[in-house]
Copies of this chain bind each other. A is one copy, B any other.
Amino acid sequence: MNLAPTEEQKLLIESVERFVEKDYPFEQRRELAASELGYSADHWATFAELGWLAIPFPEDQGGLGGSITDSCLIAEQLGRGLVVEPYLWTVILGGHLLSRSGRGDLVEQIATGVLQTAFGFAEPTSRYNLASVETSAADSGGWRLNGHKAVVFNAPAADTIIVTARTAGDPRDEEGISLFLVDPKDPGVTLRDYPTVDGLRAAEVILEDATGELLGDAGAAYPLVEETIDRGIAVVCAEAAGIMHTTLQMTREYTAQRKQFGVPLSKFQVLQHRMADMFNLTEQSISLSWVAAVKAESEDSLERARACSAAKVFIGKAGRQVGQESIQMHGGMGMTEEMPISHYFKRLTLIDTLFGNRDHHQRRYSDLLDDKRFAA
């Protein structure tokens, strides 16, 4: 029982930290976010070289046999630098779906940095319900898909897109959901690309008689989808914890150098106490994201769900307060596109809506209150 990084994990943390500090100045992040691709292919190759992309996969699939906890510790450091590279989408979501579906061939390509993936799990009216799938797949000597997958992150850069589609059942049934690989260049697949408010890339993916390659067993994908999204939640919570850390840091530094009425802002007691609250929220977010990381690979799906939803609720709330306070204390300067703080704020804000917001996960968590195994 030890909620602290191992010696090996410390080395990993240091290597990501070094990358962010030396190779990822904020100006570069700004340029990458505005570039055609939306991230740096060179950096991605570096991630592959350093083994970061291979970590969570089993060795027989070309991975390093690491844990999701390792990935979370990477994500926490990437969050500190507000890194835009598609680690979450390709490695954590796509990689896990492929790995669990026995597609070691593709996992190996992810690990070596040559394959980008995206996961379309949401639809225009699904909101945060993963079982709300209206996209349909029919087998007529090969699967054909029809439907609309909404806000698919990293789809513009993806070599292959994984989507949920219904092969049986009613709109919100957990049974009858299947996973398919679709090729973005397939004539039945239309992508409408766009940037997102937090500097990433996504697309609406429209499927019109698109060719799909079934992943795993037909109709039985829901548990894997939920598990994958829970892992995504652990990773994005770690990213958020890293963002909060830097946000507090920036606020401390700004208020210490900025004077008002002849005194640095950091000497105003009101701001001191509010920064103390930011500190408390940030530290607890880090702690809880670590617990979620460890439990994200629990074999007990209830324990996993509980820990991930709890972290998402807490970090959604903490991120809101830490983000808003940081802008308020930066005053007018915090409102500008020029200051990095505003970008940290935007990402932190949008993380709450990713994979289900605070309300969604508070409901999911409290629904688990009934379970006998549950005790605070």
Q: A interface vs B, CB < 8 Å?
A: 268-270, 273
Contacts and interface: CB of A to CB of B under 8 A. Distances in A.
Tally of this chain's copies: 2
A268 B268 CA distance: 10
Nearest to A272: B270
A201 B268 CA distance: 47
Contacts of A270: 269-270, 273
A255 to B, nearest CB: 14
5 contacts: A268-B269, A269-B269, A269-B270, A270-B270, A270-B273
A218 to B, nearest CB: 43
A334 to B, nearest CB: 20
Contacts of A269: 268-270
A273 B269 CA distance: 10
A1 to B, nearest CB: 37
A274 to B, nearest CB: 9
A295 to B, nearest CB: 32
Contacts of A268: 269
Nearest to A268: B269
A273 B273 CA distance: 12
A94 B273 CA distance: 49
A251 to B, nearest CB: 17
Contacts of A273: 270
A268 B270 CA distance: 9
Nearest to A267: B269
A302 to B, nearest CB: 28
A233 to B, nearest CB: 29
A272 to B, nearest CB: 8
A269 B268 CA distance: 7
Nearest to A274: B270
A128 B270 CA distance: 40
A269 B265 CA distance: 13
Nearest to A271: B269
A77 to B, nearest CB: 34
A269 B269 CA distance: 6
A273 to B, nearest CB: 5
A268 B269 CA distance: 7
A269 B270 CA distance: 6
Nearest to A273: B270
5 closest residue pairs by CB, A with B = A269-B269, A269-B270, A270-B273, A270-B270, A268-B269
A269 B266 CA distance: 13
A87 to B, nearest CB: 41
A270 B273 CA distance: 8
A273 B274 CA distance: 12
A270 B276 CA distance: 12
A269 B274 CA distance: 12
A125 to B, nearest CB: 22
A4 to B, nearest CB: 34
A47 B273 CA distance: 48
A312 B269 CA distance: 34
